[in-house]
Amino acid sequence: MNNEINFEEFIKNIDCTIYEKIDVDNWNISIKVVLDVVEFLQRSLEDMRTCIVNHPFSNKEEEIYFFKHIKPETWKKVGKFIFSNAPTLRRIN
């Protein structure tokens, strides 16, 4: 991707924001916090999509790297958070 975008930093910022919102020593997380983090993750994924649309890949290697490494890593974080909080999310219904 062109030099304006650093997706590794983007992923690191997602981690930092999640851990700022939750108490990692006490995984008893309120429904409000879970919903806030899910909303944050949704906005982050939308931001990532906007970046890609506005800054096309400069070559095939960058595109392949993004779809093989960056995108899966981001989705892994989303899935990890949601599945680790599934009991809390079930209480919403």
In a domain, 60, yes or no: yes
In a domain, 30, yes or no: yes
Helical segments of the chain, H only: 7-21, 31-54, 60-65, 71-84, 86-90
Q: What is the largest CA-CA distance in the chain?
A: 46
How many of the other CB atoms lie within 10 Å of CB of 72?
Answer: 11
Residue labelled with tokens 């919102």: 21
The domain of 20 spans 7-90
In a domain, 50, yes or no: yes
What DSSP character marks residue 66? Answer: I
Interatomic CA distance for residues 18 and 90, integer angstroms: 20
> For 9-58, what is each residue's pLDDT tens digit?
877 888 788 777 776 666 667 778 778 888 888 888 888 888 888 888 88
In a domain, 1, yes or no: no
Q: How confident is the model at residue 6 (pLDDT cuts 50, 70, 90)?
A: confident
In a domain, 2, yes or no: no
User: Which pair of structure tokens corresponds to residue 75?
Assistant: 């989705």
> For 23-36, what is each residue's pLDDT tens digit?
666 666 777 877 88
Residue 77's pLDDT is what?
Answer: 74
In a domain, 47, yes or no: yes
Q: How confident is the model at residue 60 (pLDDT cuts 50, 70, 90)?
A: very high
**How many domains would you assign to the chain?**
1
Residue labelled with tokens 């910022």: 13
In a domain, 25, yes or no: yes
In a domain, 73, yes or no: yes
